[in-house]
Amino acid sequence: MKITDIQAVPISFPVPPEKSVRLGIGRSVKRDAVLVRVRTDEGLVGWGESHHGRCPGAIARLLDTTIRELVVGMDPLDVVGVTARILKMQFASHGMGAAAALALSGLDLALWDIRSQATGWPLYRLLGGTARPIKAYAGGISLGWQDPAQLAQEALGFVEQGYRALKLRVGDTPARDIARVKAVRSAVGDDIDILVDANTSYSIDDVRRVMPAYEEQNVGWLEEPFPAHDAQAYMRAARSGRVPLAAGENHYTRYEFAPLVASGDVSFIQPDLSKCGGITEGMRIAALAAAAKLSINPHTSATAINMATTLHYLCALDNPGYFEADVTSLNPFRDEMMDKPPYVLDKDGTVGPYEGTGLGLKIDEKFLAAHPLIEGPCYV
């Protein structure tokens, strides 16, 4: 079998003001994604998702040109060989570019889709795993910088749905962040896990100020207080309190995760399969984390493809942590793009993979045609 074509499909939808959420990287005004379609000479077609990187048109263009030229004609079942070629021909000579990592990720997911179709197996089985319950937290673009009382009500709604863990968006000011965490803890009680995500918006001083309060409120982790490249800040923050740090959604390939794991500063590892290099690199990253006795708690991207793939991936690991359930109030990429939702929460607050070939989902190409790329920023 050979790859005959690769085509990027950038898609968007606007977020109306009443559905917008404000967090550390701005206020959401639209959602973007870049889907990747891979065709083969035997008629199998695979779909993947690349993170948009705030510039979906550029990611799509890279896939349609450079990445396509590198891998057309290769065996789509040789995922290790395809990754190795892109690492050699693109990363090695031009550095760890974010766009190249995002493009590789979507391509790799599409190739694993083809592998699953070729075997007729669910993805989790192809990866060496089994269907199992995975604990989920309410995440996505939600639980943002609202008034504390309003935020507490939103949190209670997710608990009523069955979630046993929630992730709050912090990164505002220490005082306002602490007030929000306290309000939610008071509302949901002590049996619900509370996680917080600063979206890279904290300073070292901010971390020193919030750590005692977060510890008092039994916060499970402080996610991405700083940008991924700021290793010194993570080292200092890890010594500023006892709330563990989480990071990884903006780290790319095993080469960036290896020093992150080795540092000992981050306790929860969070690769995004649409950013880190896909499943092929994701399995290597999980092995690095397992060797350090750390769990994998992936960040999920915009569409049902990434979400469902992530769930199958977690079922194939010996160190699975949380699945991030996207509870964004408006996300047609989650709700309308496929023939069914990417996951279903059960009464215990866990989720599991579908049976059937691959992800157990089918894409609606008419939906893609109805949601073309919208130029401009997705957060303002």
Length of the chain: 380
Those residues whose C-beta lies under 8 Å from the C-beta of residue 109, and which sit 6 or more positions away, are 36, 46, 47, 48, 49, 273, 274, 278, 279, 305, 306, 309
Q: How far is CA 366 from CA 46, 131, 136, 294, 340, in A?
A: 17, 31, 30, 41, 15
pLDDT at 48: 98
Condensed to tens digits (0 to 9), the pLDDT of residues 157-194 reads 999 999 999 999 999 999 999 999 999 999 999 999 99
Q: How far is CA 189 from CA 73, 165, 194, 216, 325, in A?
A: 57, 11, 10, 13, 21
Condensed to tens digits (0 to 9), the pLDDT of residues 198-247 reads 999 999 999 999 999 999 999 999 999 999 999 999 999 999 999 999 99
Count of CB atoms situated within 10 Å of the CB of 276 = 31
Instruction: Pick out the chain residues at pLDDT < 70.
Output: none
Helices and strands counted in the chain (H then E):
15, 14
Q: pTM for the whole thing?
A: 0.97
Nearest partner of 253 among 284, 291, 287, judged by Cα? 284
pLDDT at 95: 85
Classify residue 250 by its DSSP letter.
T
Cβ–Cβ under 8 Å, residues 127 and 313: yes
Strand intervals (E) in 41-191: 45-50, 134-139, 165-169
Q: Which residue has the tokens 């923050």?
A: 237
Nearest partner of 29 among 375, 342, 324, judged by Cα? 375
pLDDT at 340: 96
pLDDT at 204: 97
pLDDT at 348: 96
Nearest partner of 186 among 162, 153, 229, 144, judged by Cα? 153
